[in-house]
């Protein structure tokens, strides 16, 4: 009798775990979706930023249990990681060589701007942690400028002006904007 009870209970227990886990993930997903919808509601490029916000945050560890403030911190950490990766990508492109003088100058400008931005991201993290949301938004506006300055540096790079960092710059800009919008929605 006990063996039969155990054999029936194990599948039932597994089903219960699956259902509870799925509902928790759905609730977390809903929090991310609601936060992103609220944050991007009045934004230009909403049709691009809202899905970018959701996919970026849902992929980030810790987002499943985070509230809007926690999601703002996660978005900021994603920005920090993205800008760090951008510097590494730029350095790799510089080492690869084969660039015109104008392109080398543009890469140097990009590297400098992204490194400067990394210092400001740390200030923004502190502002967010201490509840100085206006300072945070101001800092992140400066951070965002790195991506636009980098694209601008290649705009005058002669010839076709195509930046080898177009995707890097676009992701950096989008992550920074998402983080700023989430924080603005907290005010």
pLDDT digits (tens, 9 = 90+) for 52-104: 999 999 999 999 889 999 999 999 999 999 999 999 999 999 999 999 999 99
Instruction: List all residues 6 or more positions away from 172 whose beta carbon is below 8 Å from its beta carbon.
Output: 79, 82, 83, 86, 114, 144, 146, 147
Closest CA to 128 of 112, 106, 143, 115: 143
| pLDDT at res. 28 | 47
Q: What pTM did the predictor assign?
A: 0.80
Let me know if domain 87-186 sits in CATH 1.20.140.40: yes
pLDDT digits (tens, 9 = 90+) for 38-53: 998 988 888 888 999 9
| pLDDT at res. 32 | 94
Mean per-residue pLDDT for 141-169?
84
């Amino acid at each position: 009798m006990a063996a039969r009870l155990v054999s029936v209970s194990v599948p039932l227990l597994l089903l219960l775990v699956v259902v509870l886990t799925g509902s928790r993930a759905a609730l977390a997903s809903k929090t991310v979706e609601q936060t992103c919808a609220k944050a991007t509601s009045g934004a230009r490029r909403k049709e691009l930023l809202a899905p970018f916000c959701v996919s970026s945050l849902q992929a980030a560890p810790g987002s499943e249990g985070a509230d809007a403030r926690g999601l703002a911190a996660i978005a900021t950490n994603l920005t920090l990681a993205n800008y760090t990766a951008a510097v590494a990508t730029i350095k790799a492109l510089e080492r690869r060589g084969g660039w015109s003088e104008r392109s080398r100058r543009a890469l140097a400008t990009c590297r400098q701007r992204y490194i400067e931005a990394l210092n400001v991201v740390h200030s923004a993290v502190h502002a967010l942690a201490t509840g100085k949301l206006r300072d945070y938004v101001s800092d992140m506006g400066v951070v965002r400028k790195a991506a636009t300055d980098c694209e601008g540096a290649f705009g005058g790079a002669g010839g076709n002006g195509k930046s080898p960092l177009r995707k890097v710059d676009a992701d950096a800009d989008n992550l920074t904007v998402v983080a700023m919008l989430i924080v603005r929605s907290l005010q």
